[in-house]
Amino acid sequence: MSAAVRSFPPIPARPGARRTYGILSTYPPTPCGLATFSAALARALEANGAVVGVVRVADGAPSSDPRVMAELDNGVPVSVREVTAALNRCGTAIVQHEYGLYGGTDGDEIVAILRSLTVPSIVVAHTVLLDPTRHQKQVLEAICGTASAVVVMAETARKRLCSRFDVDASKVTMIPHGATLASPEYRPDRSGRPVLLTWGLLGPGKGIEWAIDAMMDLRDLAHRPRYVVAGRTHPKVLSSEGEAYREMLVARTWAKGVAPSVSFDAAYRDLPSLTRLVQDATVVVLPYDSQDQVTSGVLVDALAAGRPVVATAFPQAVELLSSGAGIVVPHRDATALGAALRHVLTEPGLGAAMAREAARLAPAFGWSAVARQYAALAELLIADGPKLNQGAGPALSLTSTSQYGCRPVGVAP
C-alpha cells in the first residue's frame, strides 16, 4: 500500500494569485450535480485570481483535469492523513457535503477528515433534511460543529439548519447556488411551437410523469406546446434499475395520447449547448416529487437564463419564485400543473413579465459573483487565525471502522 501513502506536492502559486483553495468533492467525469457544481466553482475561483486544487472522490473513472491533485477512495483502510495532507497544502478547504458521498453510515467518515484539517474549512451543505434520522442529524451536527463555516444555498435551508439542528448559527452563511448567465450575444429560437423543458439526470422522484399527464390538458391549445425531457438516466439509477423509469415515461406518453408532443433527449451536452437549450425554452418545468429539496441547480440555471418557471412547491422554488419569476403548484398534481402552464402560455404578457423578473434575479447567481462570496468568507476565516476547526462538534461515534484512503492520481492503491 506504499503508493497510497505518498505525499502530494503543494499547489503551485501563480504570480499574483491571492489565495489557494482545495475542494473535496466528486468531480468530472463523474456525472452528477455535485461534480458539476465543484467544477464550475473551481473555474470561477480561478477566474477571480485564485489557485484551485481538487481532491476528487474516486468512482473508478479517472480524471484528466490538471486541477485534480488526489483521489479519495471511500472505505479503504488507510490513514485519513493523506486526505488532509493534500487539503492542508491549500489556504482554505471547501468540502462538499451530501449524505452518501463519503464512507461510513450516512457518510460519517467525513467528520474525521474535517477534524484533522489545520486550515480553515468551508462545508457546503447541499442537503438539509426536514426529518432526518437520529444518526443523520448527529452527523450533520458534528460536521457543522467541526467546520470553520457552513454554507447553505437558500434561506429556507439556513432557517431549517439553525432551528432544527444543534448548530452555531453564527457559522452558517447563505451563498446562492451558482449558474452560467445567459449570453447576450445568443438569439434564442422560439419561432415554432412553445417548448416546455425539463432537464437533468433522470430517475424516480423527478416527477416527469406528472408533466406528461399535464400535457393532456394542453392538447386543445392553438399553439400546442412540445415537452422536451433532456438528460441521461442517473448512473446510480441505471446501475440498480436500468432504464425502467425512462421506459415507464415513454409508455406513459403513448397511454396518455401525447407521445407526438413529448421527446426524450439523452444526448450529452457541454455547458454552452445546454445554456442555449435552456434559453430556447418557452417555460422550464420542474415537477419534482420531493417536498424536502432546499437546493436545485436546475432552478437556478433556469432563472440565470431568464426563463419563466413552473415548479412544484419544493422549498427553494417557493423561495426563489415568490417575486414573480415563476408559478408554484402542489406536488403530484397534474391538473394544477397543466393549469399553470396554460396560464403562462395563454395570458398575454405573463411569460414576458416572468422572464423579466428572472433576468432581474439572474446576476446574483452568476458564478463570478458566487465565487467572490466564497473568497470573502475565506478571508474572514483566515483573519480569525488559530480558531480553525477547534470546535470539534458533538461527540459522534463513527459506525464504520473503515477510513478514507487517498492516492495520487494515476497511482493504483
Mean pLDDT in consecutive groups of 10 residues from the start of the chain, 413 residues: 37 61 93 92 95 89 87 66 86 94 90 92 95 95 97 95 96 96 84 94 96 97 96 91 97 97 90 90 97 91 96 95 97 98 97 97 96 96 70 49 32 31
Please name the helix (run of DSSP H) or strand (run of DSSP E) that holds residue 352, with its range, or none.
helix 350-361
DSSP per-residue string spanning 22-54: EEEE--TTS-SHHHHHHHHHHHHHHHTT-EEEE
> What pairs with residue 131 in β-bridges?
none
* Cα–Cα distance measured from residue 144 to residue 353, given in angstroms and rounded to the nearest whole number: 40
How many angstroms separate the CA atoms of 148 and 378, rounded? 9
Report pLDDT for 1. Answer: 30
Separation CA 162–CA 121 (nearest Å): 19
Domains in the chain: boundaries:
2-178+367-407, 195-365
Evaluated on CA atoms 245, 247, 249, 251, the torsion sign reads negative
pLDDT in the model for residue 188: 86
Q: Do domains 2-178+367-407 and 195-365 have the same CATH topology?
A: yes
Instruction: For residue 271, give the nearest of 10, 5, 35, 13 by alpha carbon.
Output: 35
pLDDT of residue 398: 46
How far is 187 from 290, CA to CA, in rounded Å? Answer: 34
C-alpha cell at 5: 501513502
Q: Give the pLDDT score at 75.
A: 67
Q: Beta strands 195-199 and 172-174: pairing type?
A: unpaired
Q: Residue 43: its pLDDT value, please?
A: 96
pTM of the predicted protein model: 0.86
Q: What is the pLDDT of residue 78?
A: 63
The domain 195-365: what is its CATH number?
3.40.50.2000
Q: For residues 180 and 44, what is the distance between their CA atoms, to the nearest angstrom? A: 10
Backbone angles phi, psi at 220, to 5 degrees: -85, -5
For domain 2-178+367-407, give the CATH number. 3.40.50.2000
pLDDT score, position 191: 80
Cis, peptide link before residue 132, omega less than 30° from 0? no
What pLDDT is recorded for position 82? 77
SS3 at position 113: helix
Say what the pLDDT of residue 389 is. 60
pLDDT for 186 equals 84
Q: Which residues contact 200 (CB under 8 A, 6 or more apart)?
A: 33, 206, 230, 231, 298
Task: Give the amino acid at 58.
Answer: A
CA dihedral 331, 336, 341, 342 (to 10 degrees): 170
Query: According to the model, what pLDDT value does residue 386 have?
Result: 52
- In this predicted structure, what is the pLDDT of residue 79? 45
pLDDT of residue 403: 30
pLDDT at 100: 85
The whole-number pLDDT of residue 289 equals: 96
CA distance linking residue 296 with residue 312, whole number of Å: 12
* pLDDT (0 to 100) of residue 6: 31
